[in-house]
A and B are shown apart, each in its own frame.
Chain A
Amino acid sequence: DAKTTQPTSMDCAEGRAANLPCNHSTISGNEYVYWYRQIHSQGPQYIIHGLKNNETNEMASLIITEDRKSSTLILPHATLRDTAVYYCIVRYYSGGGADGLTFGKGTHLIIQP
């Protein structure tokens, strides 16, 4: 699996867009980019995933560069409840029915009031 690099921590003002970067320069063509977050030692929560096109759901948007070597998770209007550790994961699913995720240390996003 491709290795990912994320900043250790970031601040964002409440109500502003939070942009979380992730570098994955060794990503291969069939690997997807996934984002999960973990709020205060709870179990991680899935946010979004994508292959090459930009994706949007009710929680966030995912922007993947054309060369797929980096991506940005965007929380459009951050709230205090978005304070969490955000994990960027790059993974190829082998199709065997199940496979685990590899979590790095992630980015600790702190939303400031």
Chain B
Amino acid sequence: NAGVTQTPKFQVLKTGQSMTLQCAQDMNHNSMYWYRQDPGMGLRLIYYSASEGTTDKGEVPNGYNVSRLNKREFSLRLESAAPSQTSVYFCASSTPGELGLAGTRTYNEQFFGPGTRLTVL
């Protein structure tokens, strides 16, 4: 199992250019996520997808679009890149949470890819 894979590993763009970051998982997980991490900071959620055909906005969705192509693949698109989007982008996947105590659900663990390091000049 490769787990979660991301392409490309590195990318340099000029302001205004567009690109798509690719993510795939081979663990048959229903849920997938895109995060960004700026220097010295924790990760912030951009978009997520609970299942094939559904997507939802996270904390910082502006300037991004996503596509859940099938159960395996979840892509992130920058239509017009800006220097503020310089960051490391992580994709993750997880199974749905299991039913826990008192009717609450817990997460299963999220599995992260190696990241894409994007620089926008």
Contact = CB atoms under 8 A, between A and B. Distances in A.
Interface residues of B, number: 39
A92 B106 CA distance: 7
Interface string A76-113: 00000000000100011111111111111110000000
Contacts of A98: 30-33, 48-51, 56, 94, 96
B59 A43 contact: no
B114 A96 contact: no
Contact of B40 (A32, A101, A105): A105
Contact of B104 (A43, A93, A101): A93
Contact of A91 (B44, B107, B115): B107
Contacts, number: 86
Sort chain A's interface into a size bin. 20 to 34
Interface stretch (A9-17, A19-27, A45-53, A62-70): A45-53
B50 A43 contact: no
Interface of A: 30, 32, 34, 36, 41-46, 49, 51, 87, 91-106
Interface of B: 4, 30-33, 35, 40-45, 48-51, 56, 58-59, 88, 90, 92, 94, 96-97, 100-102, 104-107, 109-115
Given A43-B112, A105-B41, 12 more contacts: A30-B104, A46-B109, A51-B100, A51-B106, A94-B105, A95-B97, A97-B31, A98-B49, A98-B50, A99-B107, A100-B58, A101-B110
